[in-house]
Structure formats: C-alpha cells, structure tokens
Amino acid sequence: MPCKVFEFKEMLRGVQMKSADVILDIGCGDGALALILGKGAAKVVGVDINPSAIDRANSMATVTASSIKAEFLCKKLEEAGFVDGSFDKIFSFSVIEHIPNYREVLREARRVLKPGGQMVISVDSLMGMSAERIERHRTVFKVQHYFTPTTLRELLKEIGFTSVEAHSIFTTHVARSWFSRVMDDPKERFNPIRSLLVYRELRSSEKSRKPNDEGLFVIAKCKKE
C-alpha cells in the first residue's frame, strides 16, 4: 500500500541506525518491517498478540537467519518480561491507537528503552476526514483512540519522554482521496500499477506539507534521558 511505504520512509527519516542497535518493534505483525529494521542492527525483537502473525514472522526469520538476528514473541509488551533498558530503539507502526491500555504500553516502552535511546511511532489521526468515515474506520479496524500531533506530544512528555517531536503526514487531498478509495474498495490497495502511481503522487504532494497541517497519521519521535 503506497501510504505504508511513505509512512515507513518518513518514520526512518533522520533516525541514526547503528550496527550495535538492539531494536524492538511493538505490534510487529508478520515481522516484515521488523526484519527490514534488523538488517543493519545487532538484533531485532518483535512482539505481537496475534499467534498466526508471529508464526509468519518466525518463518520469515528462519529464512533470513544468516543475515538478520531476530526474535518474535507472541506476547503483550507489558507481559514480555524485558529488563530495564533492553533496547536502543523502539518502533511501532500504526499500532498504539488499537491498544486499550496504550498509556501503560508507552510507559513500559520507556522502561525497556535504554537511556539515550530513541522511540519512533506512528498512529492514526484521520484529521480532515468526515465523522462518518472516522466512525466507520474505528469500527472496522478496532481503533481505540485517535491522536493529533498535540495530544500525542503531550502524552509522551507526560510519560517522561524527552526531545519529543510530532507531526502529521498525508495532509493533502491526494492522500485523503486515496484513503477514502481504499476504505470504499479494499481491493484497491492490491492494484500494483495504481499503487505505484499513487505513491508518486503522495510523495510529490507531501513536499508542500506545512508543520501545522492536519493529516491522516501522526509520526512522533522521542528519547529517554
């Protein structure tokens, strides 16, 4: 899906990835993005509560074991038992908004992040979409909470993170139009030619994004002192 490709690249923009990094992916799903992150790192660990997704992740990890050290656990983060300061970097791709106890999960993320470590997350916002579409999205995708850059920034600061930055992405008509199209017809996301064209349009239109623009998703980057 073109939105996800752009989101992933935007999340990594400006992040200093190091070969000694131990990385955590919260809500890793089938592990595809975690394995990309782990390619240049010492180790990547993914947690997810979906057993079938973790099975797929472990299958892929077996294939890539010679070049990527990875571990995937079918557990909630707060029940995984990681020691304090286990990870250099933590990522979560559009997952936190689906978790009812998201505050507890973010507090746990801070606990297991090393001092000086960085966390990068994306969450759903859907600013600029109609109330009807938002409610439909909430029902279909089981979204517990939508965030804005301001509410996410304040939440992360409240939990104790520092150097908190948050901004919207997919702020243009091009993004909202594509998102609406996919909601109306989910098969659209699997149209490779259409997806390539939309990705190019998204990348071009997002260049005009301004800091306070409202968007469909929010990306936040923060650190632990």
- The answer to whether 44 and 69 have CB atoms below 8 angstroms apart is yes
Cα–Cα dist 97/112, whole Å: 20
Instruction: Look at residue 211 in the predicted model and tell me its pLDDT.
Output: 67
Q: What's the pLDDT tens digit per position in 158-200?
A: 999 999 999 999 888 878 887 887 787 776 666 666 666 776 7
| Tokens representing residue 213 in the block | 């623009």
Cα–Cα dist 118/163, whole Å: 9
- Output helix, strand, coil percentages for the chain, rounded to the nearest 5: 45, 20, 30
Q: How many CB atoms lie within 10 A of CB 113?
A: 24
- The answer to whether 152 and 106 have CB atoms below 8 angstroms apart is no
Instruction: Look at residue 207 in the predicted model and tell me its pLDDT.
Output: 73
Cα–Cα dist 73/168, whole Å: 31
Q: What's the pLDDT tens digit per position in 12-25?
A: 999 999 999 999 99
Q: What are the sequence ranges of the domains in the chain?
A: 2-223
CATH for the stretch 2-223: 3.40.50.150
Q: What's the pLDDT tens digit per position in 32-80?
A: 999 999 998 999 999 999 999 999 999 999 999 999 999 999 999 999 9
